[in-house]
Structure 1
Amino acid sequence: MAYRTRMTITAVTAAIVSADLHTPFVTAVRSTSTVDTVVVTVTDEAGNTGRGEGPQTWRITGESLASVTACVEGPLRQVLVGRDPDDLNAILDEVDTAVVGNNVAKAAVDVALHDLAAQRLGVPLARLLGGASLSVATDVTLAAGDVPQLVAAAEKRVAEGFSTLKVKLGTDPAGDLERLAAVREAVGTGIGIRVDANQGWSAKQAVRIIRGMEDEGLGIELVEQPTPARDLAGLAFVTSRVDTTIMADEAVATLSDLHRMIQLGAADAVNVKLTKCGGLRSGRVMLETARQAGIGTMVGSMMEGRLGVAAVASLAAACGTTAIADLDAAWWLAGSDPALSYQDGSVRLPDCPGLSAITFGGDAGPG
């Protein structure tokens, strides 16, 4: 019986990449016209490479391009070089303990290692994770704006084939109900609408606005992170006083955060993002933990490029969620890449080894 020759990791690199958006992305937390990220590449002795992405997320995780690069090129590279990439779980155990926090950097390395494994086996990342489909339904975000802007964007997105809209509110609580009602009137009752306040409301404002949505029969699927991330008591206050599903996002980054949210009954559902939790392995555990606790699930992306979106979509294809995924980040990129496309309200993954066919963003080359 022939055994595979041990193949070790020989290089770990981090490259800062930026890509333009076709439209400014505006929320209650920030406004941006670019995606700025670190593309991490892990290479083995045979020249096989795996890539992951670590976007700059100052306002969510506190991590920057500089911090992600330093973490990857410092303690995480020390863990990886010389190791057999097939020893994936042991390596990821060491990645977890190599540095405190820095989950964006850890997620980029985690995805790169999974991508390398998929490429060495010659299968798509989604199939390595246990999924069969290469198409995942997604919502599309309506950036925060005034009534005419939101209505125009909503009508255009529906015409483009999206059937679930995620409306960004929270920049002007006094006018948020009016904005939402206008969007519902514009698209009719057959389109799913969810709300993301991005921490923009106080607990009392959230209750008032959400009850107003309910009283007006706007048919809102869920409200994501209505209150400040650190105020779990405030989130629980809202959840206990409205009928609409309340979803935690910024309030739940890690598995320990999820356990605390469940113990407090702070939310009905959770949005799992690889850049918050540290990667695919942690994301899978969080989804399963939420399911066992009877908590609703969704997977989402930060404002990141196609590599990051493809990784999250692969997890969704393998694990499934109770709510349609939030994977439109790469849709906002200027330019196009046929390897990762949006069609009929779904993101389509390439049938290729790992993420090998995917470019970062725009018309840039791989990585």
Structure 2
Amino acid sequence: MTIERINVDVFRAPVTRPVATSFGVMRDRPAVFVRIEDSDGAFGWGEIFANWPSAGAEHRARLLLEDIADLVLGRGVGAPGELWAGLTRETHVRALQCGEWGPFRQVIAGLDIAAHDLLARRAGVPLAKMLAPGGAAESVPVYASGLHVSAATDAIAAAREAGVRAFKVKIGFDAMRDMADLRMLCADLGEGEGLMADANQAWTLSEALRFVETAGDLGLGWLEEPIGADAPADAWHTLAQASSIPLAAGENIVGHADFTRAVQGGALAVVQPDVAKWGGVGGCIGVAREALEAGLNYCPHFLGGGIGLAASAHLLAAAGGPGMLELDANDNPLRDAFFAQGPAARGDFVIGARPGLGIEALPEEIARYRTLSRETAKG
């Protein structure tokens, strides 16, 4: 069967409290959802990364419609991963011409998610089961993330009430205040609870070294992206050797070769590819299995809408291991509307028995946030 139709919908939901990171502030919640349909009427849903920059959502939608769709329409979905590999190869010169490697990778990742959803639907099984026919987890534990370290107390309390036992806070703002807030949050943890910290690439190596020396007694579960994802391997090794806190990264690593170097390099304890930023389902399941085989922890990164969250959960369920699913604790109707009982019940994301990602259509309640809706079809 060939792909006959592509639908792209862009949404922007206003928020009362912006999401602050060390590199900038998200003042609304965007999402780009893509639906592909084949000549037999089978369909699949995907999501394209759109958190950054602020104009990214509309740009990526138009990139798909005006620069990539001609390579998609009329081609077969094929075996899992074929669409991603073909589009990556065929768009190389286009991405090189404009230097927009990230947007091209993100659009292709969203299409790969949709292709895997379609194939699992045709097989009549959940995506996790298609990826791991020998057995996939029925649910995966979540941890609450996206919390500014200075304003995390109430959000952690709410997550705790929902059964969540691990929490990740954003740091990299003011060193002294960050440390004071971390100490307070750690002191308030209950039995069996854990706290992680994410610097979002805020520091130089020397700044990161000062942090791990000062925070070494806190018992943090991991320290995420303390330095740039593109920092030299020697810098990551130096930091890992000096740190008693496990290091985590992956959302800003791209390519099989770079992930293999990261997995085998010895600096990381936690590997975190983002299904909507690079690789889609096919690329990320390979990274997950490689990380687990190397004795590392696989915890998929995600901070977007409901489709990408579901894809991340199915990936984790298929990969196995002790990893947790990232669940942004900030308000996001473009995520929550997809899950009637909320995205997590008693601290777990339940995979369910519905085929594919288990998503039939976009929820009606998010229609008011739509900023763009386009369809393009073969012929």
| TM-score interval (norm. to shorter) | 0.7 to 0.9
1:58–1:230 distance in 2 versus 1, CA, 3 Å: same
The question of 1:151 aligning with 2:153 is answered yes
Tell me the TM-score normalised to structure 1 length.
Answer: 0.86
1:137 aligns with 2:131: no
CA distance in 1, matches of 2:123, 2:239: 47
Q: Is the 8 A contact 1:223 1:246 kept in 2?
A: yes
* Distance in structure 1 (CA, Å) of the matches to 2:299 and 2:50: 22
**Equivalence map 1:10-29=2 (5 Å):** 10-21=4-15, 23-29=17-23
Preserved CA contact (<8 Å) 1:72 1:109: no
Which residue in the other structure is 1:165 paired with? 167
Note the C-alpha offset of 1:145. Answer: 4.4
Measure how far apart 1:52 and its partner are.
0.3
User: In the alignment, what sits opposite 2:289?
Assistant: 288
Deviation readout 1:75-121 (Å, 9 max, x if unpaired)? 53233322333444433321121213321101110011111112222
Measured against aligned partners, the alpha-carbon deviations of 1:144-167 in whole angstroms (never above 9, x if no partner) come to 142xx2223222321221101111
DSSP-derived class of the 2:168 partner:
strand
Distance in 1 between the 2:79 and 2:136 partners? 24
Structure 2 CA distance, aligned partners of 1:347 and 1:293? 26
Structure 1 partner of 2:304 = 304
- Partner Cα distance (2:66, 2:329) in 1: 29
Matched, 1:128 2:130: yes
In the alignment, the residues of structure 2 paired with residue 362 and residue 204 of structure 1 have an alpha-carbon distance, to the nearest angstrom, of 50
Deviation of 1:311 (Å): 0.6
Amino acid at match of 1:70: R
Contact in 2 for aligned 1:144/1:171 (Cα 8 Å): no
Question: For the Cα contact (< 8 Å) 1:340–1:349, is it kept in 2?
Answer: no
Partners of 1:161 and 1:116 in 2: CA distance: 33
What code does the residue aligned with 2:328 have? A
Aligned partner letter, 1:18: R
What is the rounded CA distance, in whole Å, between the counterparts of 2:85 and 2:207 in structure 1? 42
Paired residue for 2:98?
none
**1:154, 1:183 within 8 Å by CA — same for their partners in 2?**
no
Aligned length: 353
Question: Which residue matches 1:345?
Answer: 347
CA contact (8 A) 2:84 2:279 kept: no
Could you tell me how far 1:42 is from its partner in structure 2? 0.6
Residue matched to 2:250: 249
Amino acid at match of 2:269: D
Match of 1:221, SS state, is coil
Q: 1:206 to 1:139 in 2, by over 3 A?
A: same
Task: Tell whether 2:68 aligns with 1:69.
Answer: no
- Residue 44 (str. 1) matches residue 38 (str. 2): yes
Match of 1:221 in 2: 221
Moved more, 261-270 or 29-38: 261-270
Q: What pairs up with 1:179-194 in 2 under 5 angstroms?
A: 179-194=181-196
Matched, 1:333 2:319: no
Separation in 1 of the partners of 2:281 and 2:319?
11
CA distance in 2, matches of 1:236, 1:359: 46
- Residues 1:189 and 1:339: Cα distance change in structure 2 (over 3 Å): closer
Query: Structure 1: where are the runs of 5+ without partners?
Result: 1-6
Q: Relative to structure 1, is the Cα distance of residues 318 and 263 closer, same or farther in structure 2, using a 3 angstrom cutoff?
A: closer
- Residue number in structure 2 paired with 1:105: 107
CA distance change for structure 1 residues 21 and 317 in 2, over 3 Å: closer, same or farther? farther
**What is aligned with 1:117?**
119
Structure-2-length-normalised TM-score: 0.83
- Aligned residue type for 1:311: A
Distance in 2 separating the partners of 1:94 and 1:240: 40
> For the structure 1 residues 141 and 9, does the alpha-carbon distance in structure 2 shift closer, same or farther, using more than 3 Å as the test?
same
How far apart, in 2, do the equivalents of 1:338 and 1:151 lie? 26
Counterpart of 1:27, as a letter, is T
Distance of aligned partners of 1:142 and 1:49 in 2 relative to their CA distance in 1, 3 Å threshold: closer
The one-letter amino acid of 1:24's match is P
Distance between the aligned counterparts of 2:22 and 2:229, measured in 1?
13
Q: Which runs of 5+ in 2 are unaligned?
A: 93-100, 374-379
- Greater relative contact order (CA < 8 Å, ≥ 6 in sequence): 2
Q: 1:4 maps to which residue? A: none
Per-residue CA shift, 1:239-264, capped at 9, x if unaligned? 11112111123452322222333465
- Shift, 1:169, TM fit: 0.9
Q: Describe the superposition over 1:191-213 as per-residue Cα deviations: whole angstroms up to 9, x where unpaired.
A: 11111111122222222222222
Q: Quote the Cα distance in structure 2 between the aligned partners of 1:330 and 1:177.
A: 21
Per the alignment, residue 230 of structure 1 pairs with 230
Checking the alignment, whether the CA contact within 8 Å between 1:296 and 1:323 is kept in structure 2 is yes
Q: What amino acid does structure 1 have at the position aligned with 2:260? A: H
Shift of the 22–140 alpha-carbon distance from structure 1 to 2, 3 Å rule, reads farther
Distance in 2 (CA, whole Å) between partners of 1:8 and 1:330 is 39
Q: How large is the RMSD of aligned CA atoms in angstroms? A: 2.7
